[in-house]
Structure 1
Amino acid sequence: MKIAVITGASSGMGREFAVQVSKLYRNLDEIWVVARRTERLEELKKKLTVPVRIFDGDLGRDYIYERIEKSLDQKQAKIRLLVNAAGYGKMGFTEKLDSLDLCGMIQLNCIALTKMTHLCLPYMERGARVVQVASAAAFAPQPGFAVYAASKSYVYSFSRALRMELKKHGISVTAVCPGPVDTEFFDRAGSLPGKGKEGLLAEEASVVRLALLDAVWRKPVSVYGSTMKLCRIGAKILPDGILAWAMKKLNQV
């Protein structure tokens, strides 16, 4: 059985990945979607042309991984595509944010992503692809968004290293690093800081389309938009101290 596994599929980019993967990958037997909100996953299942298997649960708990691994063994599944899109952010000064939110970002954005990747790798063969949703926030320290940016820096670095480790197996890894995307993300994260940033909001469908195309071409990083591409170049040139100062001014914190 050939499958795709997508986390965070109940909303935002994760949901959009499921929609577009069902159209792009014609030879899949099933798409396995992972998220907490069962009703959202059921709605998604009705809209896709590819059969969908639902894994509703909290990626912060061990039972969800046990369910997935058991199903992978029982179905003798071969994962052609893994998309780790689950994640969230919370804006504000670290000292003023709740510790549950701070640690929750690390738990979901870093630990859950790592556990899901490690779980799925034994079921991937030559030609398979891993898509890790990071963020352009990974490119520089972000005062006022410090833990989220740091967690996405982990995803970015982990993905680049994992790509080299898996090269001998013919498995590619693409880190997706968009700027702000017009999704439900900001309902939880808070208002976009700084003036004029609303103009930088990208459409999720466009970001996901580019990410999947870049994954098809086995590119190491997918960055949507010329502004974010310039930010990536600038982050490679400027010292961290200057970057942190610039982001503090930009975020108006």
Structure 2
Amino acid sequence: MNIVVITGASSGMGREFAMQLDRGLHSVDEFWLIARRGSRLKEIASSMQHTVKILPLDLTNEADMTVLTESLAEEKPVVRMLINCAGYGMMGDFTAVPIKEQTGEVDLNCRALLEVTYGCLPYMRAKSRIIQLASSAAFLPQPGFSVYAATKSFVLSFSKALRAELKERQIYVTAVCPGPVKTEFFEVAEHYASTLAMKQYTMVEADRVVKDALRASSKNRPMSVCSLPIQAFWAMTRLLPQDPVICLVQKMREKGTEVIEEEKESE
């Protein structure tokens, strides 16, 4: 049995990957959709043509992670695609965001991604593909988004190294590094601070990011960077020294905060 495994499948990018692959992928037998919200997964499954295995799991919980590994061991499928989308970020100064929120980012964005990847690899074959959702935040340390950016830098670095390790097995790894995407992500991320206006202007739709990511994966590219502004940002971070760029980002944050405070005072 050939399967696709998608984490974070209940909304946003994970949901969009499921929808697009369901329409265009005919070489798999079943989709395994993983997320905490089982009711959301059922809604998505009901609209899909493929058979769907619903796994309502919290990947930060070891017992739930065991459910996944035991399901793989029991059914012994061939994992043709693994797409790791589960993750979240919290905006705000490091000391302004509760530490449990920030360690939670590390746990889900990094540790859970590692465990799912490790658990699926024994069931992958030549031409299987892995898509890891990183972020343009991985390109540069980001004041006010420090932990999230660090976790995504980890995902990008890990993906590049894993890609090299799996080359002989012909398992392809692609890191997806979008800028801001119009999803539920910012409903959580902006709990303690607001998004820079520049990020709002560079937001793209999830379907575009996923389409680009699937194209990059099918062509065995190491990265997918969606939209010209984010591609320009990536080039800038490669060409310029990091320190001046980080200072510029911090100044933009401070200016943005001043504008927000002025707007609040005028209300």
TM-score (norm 2): 0.92
CA contact (8 A) 1:109 1:152 kept: yes
Classify the secondary structure of the residue corresponding to 1:54.
Answer: strand
Deviations 1:102-128 (A, max 9, x none): 100000001100110111100001000
Structure of greater Rg: 2
**2:237 matched to 1:242?**
no
CA contact (8 A) 1:176 1:223 kept: yes
Classify the secondary structure of the residue corresponding to 2:131.
Answer: strand
Residue 163 of structure 1 is matched in structure 2 by: 163
CA contact (8 A) 2:33 2:52 kept: yes
Deviations 1:61-93 (A, max 9, x none): 112222222222222200000000000000000
CA contact (8 A) 1:90 1:101 kept: yes
> Which amino acid in the other structure matches residue 85 of structure 2?
A
Match of 2:205 among 198, 203, 206: 203
CA contact (8 A) 1:79 1:123 kept: yes
Residue 90 of structure 1 is matched in structure 2 by: 90
Deviations 1:172-205 (A, max 9, x none): 1000000000000000000652234322110001
Q: How many Å separate the matches in 1 of 2:72 and 2:25? A: 19
CA contact (8 A) 1:55 1:64 kept: no
Classify the secondary structure of the residue corresponding to 2:166.
Answer: helix
Q: How many Å separate the matches in 1 of 2:177 and 2:206? A: 12
1:11-26 map, 5 Å: 11-26=11-26
Could you tell me the percent identity over the aligned residues? 43
Q: How many Å separate the matches in 1 of 2:183 and 2:241? A: 31
Q: How many Å separate the matches in 2 of 1:251 and 1:146? A: 13
Q: Which runs of 5+ in 1 are unaligned?
A: none
Classify the secondary structure of the residue corresponding to 2:179.
Answer: coil
> Which amino acid in the other structure matches residue 241 of structure 1?
D
**2:215 matched to 1:213?**
yes
> Which amino acid in the other structure matches residue 235 of structure 2?
I
User: Alpha-carbon deviation of 1:14?
Assistant: 0.6
Q: How many Å separate the matches in 2 of 1:113 and 1:195? A: 30
Q: How many Å separate the matches in 2 of 1:143 and 1:196? A: 15
Classify the secondary structure of the residue corresponding to 1:10.
Answer: coil
Q: How many Å separate the matches in 2 of 1:193 and 1:246? A: 16
Deviations 1:146-166 (A, max 9, x none): 000000000000000100000
1:71-90 map, 5 Å: 71-90=71-90
Q: How many Å separate the matches in 1 of 2:64 and 2:78? A: 19
Over aligned residue pairs, what C-alpha RMSD do you find?
Answer: 1.1
Q: How many Å separate the matches in 2 of 1:72 and 1:210? A: 29
1:94-243 map, 5 Å: 94-190=94-190, 192-243=194-245
1:63-78 map, 5 Å: 63-78=63-78
User: Alpha-carbon deviation of 1:141?
Assistant: 0.8
CA contact (8 A) 1:192 1:198 kept: no
User: Alpha-carbon deviation of 1:237?
Assistant: 1.4
Q: How many Å separate the matches in 1 of 2:37 and 2:24? A: 25
User: Alpha-carbon deviation of 1:242?
Assistant: 1.4
> Which amino acid in the other structure matches residue 29 of structure 1?
D
> Which amino acid in the other structure matches residue 35 of structure 1?
A
Q: How many Å separate the matches in 2 of 1:59 and 1:194? A: 30
Q: How many Å separate the matches in 2 of 1:162 and 1:217? A: 17
Q: Which runs of 5+ in 2 are unaligned?
A: 258-267
Residue 263 of structure 2 is matched in structure 1 by: none
Classify the secondary structure of the residue corresponding to 1:6.
Answer: strand
Q: How many Å separate the matches in 1 of 2:196 and 2:6? A: 32
